[in-house]
């Protein structure tokens, strides 16, 4: 009996610790790795960031979502994309000469350079994108329970301009750059920007 109590005195805390970690990871936050250059200069390829599952999504929040059945080219059921929310449900979105307009108002984009805003991009609105890429949604606004997302480096980003909207039930959470990251500007551009 003494041996059993001795074993349980160290096994029980390990089991409880693992259960707490699983609950936190499943319901509160997890870590993900950024894959590719689409969020440069604010997030780099292979960078690890926190995803807060309980954070409220706002305009310009950076989110992680499961891209399977969102992007037709996403073949794996576990592929995750990191993008910035531009349009919320009910919003109109358009781009003219690298300037973004949501509901007719200019969106400040100080978090990226003129080059990242304009290089390789065209003028568009939701209707022209729908026609160009055959979304078959017949909408001029972001649908209910959906988001319109873009990468920060527009010329290399595979985003809502090509495959449409991200359903809210595919969103895993809001990206936060950890406090130990030494780049204060990057932390601000990911963690604090909204309009």
Sheet holding 146-150, edge to edge: 29-33, 48-52, 171-176, 62-66, 80-87, 146-150, 166-167
176 is an active site residue = no
* The one catalytic residue among 83, 94, 170, 176: 83
155 is an active site residue = no
Neighbours of 26 (CB within 10 A): 10
Burial degree of 3 (CB within 10 A; 0-12, 13-18, 19+): exposed
Burial degree of 195 (CB within 10 A; 0-12, 13-18, 19+): exposed
Q: Which residues are catalytic?
A: 38, 83
């Amino acid at each position: 009996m003494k041996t059993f109590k001795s074993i349980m005195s160290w096994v029980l805390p390990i089991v409880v610790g693992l259960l707490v970690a699983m609950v936190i990871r499943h319901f509160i936050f997890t870590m993900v790795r950024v894959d590719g250059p689409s969020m440069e200069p604010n997030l780099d390829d292979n960078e690890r960031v926190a995803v807060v599952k309980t954070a409220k999504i706002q305009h310009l929040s950076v989110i992680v979502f499961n891209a399977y059945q969102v992007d037709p080219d996403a073949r794996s059921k576990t592929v995750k994309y990191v993008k910035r929310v531009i349009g919320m449900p009910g919003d109109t979105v358009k781009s003219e000469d690298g300037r973004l307009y949501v509901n007719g108002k200019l969106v400040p984009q100080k978090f990226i350079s003129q080059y990242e805003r304009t290089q390789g991009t065209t003028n568009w609105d939701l209707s022209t994108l729908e026609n160009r890429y055959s979304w078959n949604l017949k909408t001029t606004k972001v649908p209910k329970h959906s988001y319109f997302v873009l990468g920060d480096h527009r010329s290399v980003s595979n985003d809502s301009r090509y495959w449409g909207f991200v359903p809210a039930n595919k969103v895993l959470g809001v990206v936060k750059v950890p406090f130990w990251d030494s780049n204060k500007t990057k932390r601000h551009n990911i963690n604090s920007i909204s309009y």
